[in-house]
Amino acid sequence: MTLPAPLILLVHGPNLNLLGERNPAVYGTTTLVDIEADVAGAANARGATVLAFQSNHEGALIDFLHQHRKIAAGVVINAGAYTHTSVALRDAIEAVQLPVVEVHLSNTHAREAFRHVSLIAPVCLGQVTGLGRAGYGVAVQLLLDHVATRDGAAAR
């Protein structure tokens, strides 16, 4: 029996659609298209597929997680500023019961104090912060390792 390819949800929060032109001194010149290609490449190389979604709206991000919760193996999310403000997104991550890896391009801990707190971190598997574009690849590997370990243990 062949198992279906695990599906990773790649979720981008507010203002990340402007990557490439937004504050390049902090975020570099990488675009969302570049990041999505990186993530798809890393996932495909391990037999997984990716569904990407970006929104500037809190409720749309939450709806996306809800809608795909039964078919996804896990989530890589850069929640942008909602990381620091959204109890609703934090509750959605907890509610969907999927492994979630939080990513930030910049090192949020080296920036303004309000960026030091992540409301979603306690309900995520882990956080990759400050590694720029490469952080997404790291997040995919961590997520797929986690899924493989969990599914392997469940099969034994």
- Catalytic residue ranges: 27, 104
Q: Measure the CA–CA gap between 5 and 46, rounded to whole angstroms.
A: 9
Nearer CB in complex with ligand DQA: 17/46: 17
Least distance between ligand DQA and beta carbon 150 (Å) = 27
- Distance of alpha carbon 16 from alpha carbon 56, whole angstroms: 8
How many residues interact with ligand DQA (rule CB under 6 A)?
Answer: 10
| Near ligand DQA in 73-112, by CB under 6 A | 78, 80-81, 83, 104-106, 108
56 contacts ligand DQA (rule: CB under 6 A): no
For the CB of residue 97, give the shortest distance to ligand DQA in the complex, in Å. Answer: 23
**54 vs 83 by CB, closer to ligand DQA:** 83
66 vs 116, beta carbon nearer ligand DQA:
116
Evaluated on CA atoms 102, 105, 110, 113, the torsion sign reads negative
Cα–Cα distance for residue pair 52/8, rounded to 1 Å: 8
Instruction: Tell which one of 15, 17, 30, 85 touches ligand DQA (CB under 6 A).
Output: 15
Q: Is 115 near ligand DQA (CB under 6 A)?
A: yes
Give the nearer residue to ligand DQA in terms of CB position, either 15 or 31.
15
- Does position 31 interact with ligand DQA (CB under 6 A)? The reply is no
What are the backbone dihedrals phi and psi of residue 84, each rounded to the nearest 5 degrees, phi first?
Answer: -95, -5
List, in order, residues 6 or more apart from 142 with CB less than 8 Å away. Answer: 101, 125, 126, 128
**What is the contact surface with ligand DQA in residues (CB under 6 A)?**
15, 78, 80-81, 83, 104-106, 108, 115
